[in-house]
Structure 1
Amino acid sequence: MLEILSITSPIFILIGLGYFAVRAALFSRADMRVLGTFVIRFALPAMLFKALSERPFDEVMNSGYLIAYALGSLAAMGAAILLALKWRKRDFLSSVIIGMGASSSNSAFIGLPVAVQVLGPVGSVAMALCLLVENLLMLPLLLIMADRAGHKRASIVAMLRGTLASLFRNPMLVAIAIGFAFALFGLALPAPLSKVVDMLSFASGPLALFVIGGSLAGMGVKGMVADVTLITVAKLVLHPAAVLIAVLLVPGIGPELQAAAVLIACVPMFSIYAIMGQKYGLEGMCSAALVVATVASFVSISIIIWVMELTGFIPALS
């Protein structure tokens, strides 16, 4: 267990450092947005490109992994929506937002550091594949469901067109596409550019975690205990369980990628969850769930890694 804590503790210490830096007024929340923009537009795209371009194409493009992670995420989303509708008696819009929190991992900012520390470079490849599922399937589907539930007048075709347009402007997805192309054709960057990519890659993990902590500062946790509990348990327990079942059932996924999928699924929801909820007047519930899930994940991630090590799902950590 000490080996596991040596993996998870630095991650959450960096998150805590970002939180207290904002609380102590060393940085403002506006500063966190600037740092987050740097991470999203430069550091993480560089890391994704590096991870994909330096491996053979047949190793980084794993269709079984994509199918399994999609099936697990859809199952977690559907179960959370049904629980919200039947148990909590929430309306469909609120239930969809609950399903969003239950099935959308913070794969880039938290999932990546966890997977890389446990499994090494394969964690970066797994995170890139998860980003494809989240951005090309889960997020568009959830937004369409939420907008239709909110009685938006825009047609599904118009919403899809807008979603696709935003995807083409997403630096991380562009980096993934270029990385796949380099892997497919066996290309390599000139040495000076390769060093620039390396330097940006090294900044992505620590800075992303610092930004997560700073973004949580000032978010309140008030009321809505049942809804917040549902979202938190569904995200930290149900989602990884559903992904685990899927990766074991779908053929063609190696043990390392199976473990990486579960590790990425067990992290809290993405950091813009509260912003997404604000669009539908549910920012209070989303903010509270984000704070609770992030804090609780320190324990849940450690337990899941311990169980995976105990059962031989991942190599012994030492």
Structure 2
Amino acid sequence: MLNILFVTFPFFALVLAGFVAIQRGLLPRDAIGGLNGFVLYFALPCMLYRFGAGSPISQLLDPTLFLAYLLCALLMVGFSVAMSLNARIRWNDAAFGALVAAFPNTGFMGVPLLVALLGEGAAGPAIVTIVADLVITTSLCVALSRLDGADEHGAARAAKNALKAVLANPMPWAIILGVLSSAMSYELVGPLAKTVGLLADSASPVALFTIGAVLARSQQLTQESGHAPIMLRDYLPIACFKLFLHPVLVLLVLSTVIQMGFAMDRFTMVVVVLVAALPSASNVALLTERFDADTGRVARIILVTTAAAFFTFSGAVALLHA
């Protein structure tokens, strides 16, 4: 267990560093957009491309894993929405709460952390889950968030806009290019490979620092807006669903898939269960701002899952990787 903590500690320490930098005013909040832009459009696509190009094509094009993981995500969304809807939390807030319950922080945190723990073979299965969450889970939750609107076409229009946002996101394109490179056994020429490598190496530390900065900014903005106190019952159950129910559900579904005779090895199952054990994706807080949902509630869920995951994720690694 101590060896696992030695690996996970630096990742969570960088998140804390970003959080403290904003809280203490060591970094202006206006700088977060630049950090996020660098990670999203330069560093992270290079990292995903590099891991995709270096992974066997059979790992990247695994329909059994994709569908099994997607089933778990859809179940998490449905359950979380059903448990959240009430007189105070309507479709908009319930949908984004469901998204943070089902969408792990795989891109910014999960891929580099799992590779550090399990080796580069962990990148392929993790990338499959990113595609499912970016393309389908996010689009579904954005569509559900529009069900509060009077316009009966609101959900369909929201889903269409969400898909447009996916197409404008460089991460799926980086993954596609990585898949093509893997399929064709293509390697970048020396100078270009070095440039991509430098950007890829910067992705993990800058992304983790940015996660902390985004969480601190969300908390500050919530306080400055005069937001009513957020009750524990509005965010703590969702945080628990993410940290405990999601990985258990993935473990049960993937174990059943293996027992039914589908082609999936234990290593892939372990990687994907650990993906589900990650904290909530920090970029959901940015989506709530865009769609006028309760950013304070979602930011609180992300903050709780990120802080608690240092212990819960490390414990999951100890249990599964024994």
1:237-269 superposed Cα distances (whole Å, 9 cap, x missing partner):
111111111221222222222111111111121
**Who is 2:41 aligned against?**
41
Q: Which amino acid aligns with 2:288?
A: G
TM-score (norm 2): 0.89
Q: Distance in 1 between matches of 2:211 and 2:293?
A: 22
Per-residue deviation at 1:2? 0.7
Q: Does residue 283 of structure 1 match 2:295?
A: yes
Query: How far is the alpha carbon of 1:155 from its aligned partner?
Result: 5.1
Shift of 1:92: 3.7
Counterpart of 2:191 in structure 1 is: 192
The SS at the match of 2:30 is helix
Q: Which amino acid in the other structure matches residue 145 of structure 1?
A: L
Q: CA RMSD in A?
A: 2.1
Aligned equivalents of 1:152 and 1:294: distance in 2?
36
8 Å CA contact retained: 1:240, 1:263: yes
When normalised by structure 1's length, the TM-score is 0.90
Contact 1:15 1:210 (8 Å CA) reproduced: yes
Counterpart residue identity of residue 288, structure 1:
R
1:304 aligns with 2:316: yes
Residues 1:68 and 2:68 aligned together: yes
Code of the residue aligned with 1:296 in structure 2: it is A
Q: Are 2:19 and 2:213, in contact at CA under 8 Å, matched by a contact in 1?
A: yes
Q: 1:152: how far off? A: 4.3
- Once the two structures are superposed, residues 103-161 of structure 1 have per-residue CA deviations (whole angstroms, 9 ceiling, x without a partner) of 11111112223311221112322232111101111011111111123334545554343
What aligned pairs does 1:53-64 form with structure 2 within 5 A after superposition? 53-64=53-64
1:242 aligns to what?
249
C-alpha distance in 1 between matches for 2:156 and 2:22: 41
Aligned to 1:27: 27
Alpha-carbon distance between aligned partners in 2 of 1:198 and 1:234, rounded to the nearest angstrom: 36
Contact 1:73 / 1:242 at 8 angstroms: preserved in 2? no
Alpha-carbon deviation of 1:208? 0.7
How far did 1:234 drift?
A: 0.7
- Tell me the distance in 1 between the aligned counterparts of 2:55 and 2:96: 37
CA change 1:98–1:56 in 2 (3 A) is closer
Which residue of structure 2 lines up, in the alignment, with residue 311 of structure 1? none
CA-to-partner distance for each residue in 1:204-251, whole Å, 9 max, x for gaps?
111111111111224168432011111100111111111111221222
Matched residue, 1:126: 125
Deviations 1:170-191 (A, max 9, x none): 1111111111111122222112
* TM-aligned CA distance change 1:91 to 1:35, over 3 Å: closer
The structural deviation recorded for 1:46 is 0.7
Contact 1:266 1:301 in 2 (8 A): yes
**Counterpart code for 2:170:** P
One-letter identity of the residue aligned with 1:238: L
Q: Counterparts of 2:156 and 2:284 in 1: how far apart (Å)?
A: 24
Supply the AA of the counterpart residue of 2:165.
S
Number of positions where the alignment pairs a residue of Structure 1 with one of Structure 2 = 309
Identical columns (%): 27
The worse-fitting range, judged by mean Cα deviation, of 248-257 and 154-163 is: 154-163
How many angstroms apart in 2 are the aligned matches of 1:299 and 1:56?
A: 32
1:257 and 2:241 are equivalent in the alignment: no
C-alpha contact (below 8 Å) 1:72/1:244 kept by paired residues: no
**Structure-1 separation of matches of 2:125 and 2:30:** 31
Cα distance in 1 for residues equivalent to 2:206 and 2:166: 23
Query: Which residue is 1:268 aligned to?
Result: 279
Separation of aligned partners in 2, 1:89 and 1:159 = 22
Distance between the aligned counterparts of 2:211 and 2:250, measured in 1?
Answer: 24
The 2-side partners of 1:185 and 1:176 are apart by 14
Deviation digits for residues 268-311 of structure 1 (CA, Å, limit 9, x no counterpart): 21112223333243122112222222111112112211221xxx
